[in-house]
Amino acid sequence: MLVTAIRSKPVYATLEPDLSGTFHLLVGQGSGGDALLRLLEKMPRGADAQVLYAAESRSGVDRSEPLSAFGAVQCRIFPSMAEVVACLDQVLSTCFMGTRLYVAGSESFIGSVGQVAARYNLTGDEAQSERCGSAARRVYCIHCKTSQENVTTNVVRCAGCERHLLVRDHYSRRLAAYMGVMADAASPGTLPPVEERLA
């Protein structure tokens, strides 16, 4: 059985203040809150910044309090990732050129935020993302076109069509998900060894 090594995976970095920007929009979820706090510490005093944060998290990490308590920065807390993403859409519709977007959280969260940002033609030099928390993936089944969250193994059963999917490293920003292809297409029933993905 073939498990091909592929290299079109997204690359993330540690969030750093981009002082060429004039307005800094920080968006995070769960353990991404720690990354946002670190970033806020590095921001110069008086920087025009706003925080949008969702406590919803697989790991249970909730940084709502320290973020709200961080002085001189407007902070809005939401109970769910879906709500923070919806709020981001509304905020971006009122933002001006000069805005910098900083995203911290799970890869799925980063992907969902990226889909909204793309609608505003926010390009790579206006945004940074730092992946926090687990290596869980959103996987898109190319056969039935459904996505499922929190996949931590290299093979997963599709929630939509029940096929066993090989989770590839090939990633689509448009779909904000990794590619899932039928794992036993060549020999039905013969699956590769299932492994936990650590990174």
Partner 1 sequence: MAIAFKPDETFRDDFTYRNSPQAIGRFPFPFVADTFMYSVNIEPHVPGEKESCFEFPLDVDEHYVAECRERAFCLATTPDRFLALPHMMPAQWDALELIASSLSRDYPQHFCLERRGTRWRWTNRPLGLEDEFTFGDPATLACEPLEYITRQAQGDFCLLDQRDGNLWLDAGMATSQADWSLNFDLGMNFVEWHGPVPLAAELGVFDRALKFLMNLQIGHPVRRLNWTMTIHPRLDTSPEQSPHWAPDRGAVTPANAGDLVHLRVELQALWRLPRSNAILFSIRCYLISMNELVTVPKWGRRTHRVLKSLHPALLDYKGLVRYRDTLVDWLAGFDDGTPTTPGTGPE
Partner 2 sequence: MRHDEAIPVEVAAVEQVTPLVKQFTLRRVDGGPFPPFSGGCHVVVVMHGRGRTFRNPYSLLGSPRNVDCYQIAVRRHDAGRGGSRFMHDEVRVGTRLEVGHPVNLFPLAKLARKHVFVAGGVGITPILAMVDDLRSTSAPWELHYRVRGPEHDHFGRKLRDENGNRVHLYYGSHGQTLDLGRIVANQPLGTHIYTCGAEQMVAAVAQAAKAAGWTDSHVHCERFVAPPIGDPFDVHLARSGVTVHIPSERSLLEAIEAVGVDAPYLCRGGVCGQCETEVLELEGVLVHNDHWLSDEERAAAKKIMPCVSRARCTRLVLDR
Cα 135 to Cα 184: distance, rounded to the nearest angstrom: 24
Closer Cβ to partner 2, 21 or 28, answer by number: 21
Contact (Cβ atoms closer than 8 angstroms) between residue 141 and residue 160: yes
95 binds partner 2 (CB under 8 A): yes
The least distance separating partner 1 from the CB of residue 172, rounded to whole angstroms, comes to 5
Q: Which helix (H) or strand (E) covers residue 155, if one does?
A: strand 155-157
For residue 19, the SS3 value is coil
Question: How do 137-141 and 147-151 pair as beta strands?
Answer: antiparallel
Within 8 A by CB and 6+ apart from 9, the residues are 169, 171
52 binds partner 2 (CB under 8 A): no
Cα 72 to Cα 51: distance, rounded to the nearest angstrom: 11
Identify residues 125-184 at the interface with partner 1 (CB under 8 A). 140, 142-143, 145, 168-175, 179, 181-182
Which tokens in the block code for residue 98? 């000069």
- Give the residue, chosen from 120, 134, 159, 169, that forms a contact with partner 2 under the rule CB under 8 A: 120
For residue 37, the SS3 value is helix
The burial of 12, by beta-carbon neighbours within 10 Å (0-12 exposed, 13-18 middle, 19 or more buried), is given as middle
Identify residues 98-117 at the interface with partner 2 (CB under 8 A). 98-100
Closer Cβ to partner 2, 101 or 179, answer by number: 101
Closer Cβ to partner 1, 13 or 69, answer by number: 13
191 binds partner 1 (CB under 8 A): no
For partner 1, what does the binding mask look like between residues 92 and 131, x meaning CB under 8 A?
-------------------------------xx-------
Positions that interact with partner 2 (CB under 8 A)? 20-23, 92, 95-100, 120-126
Positions that interact with partner 1 (CB under 8 A)? 2, 4-9, 123-124, 140, 142-143, 145, 168-175, 179, 181-182, 185-188
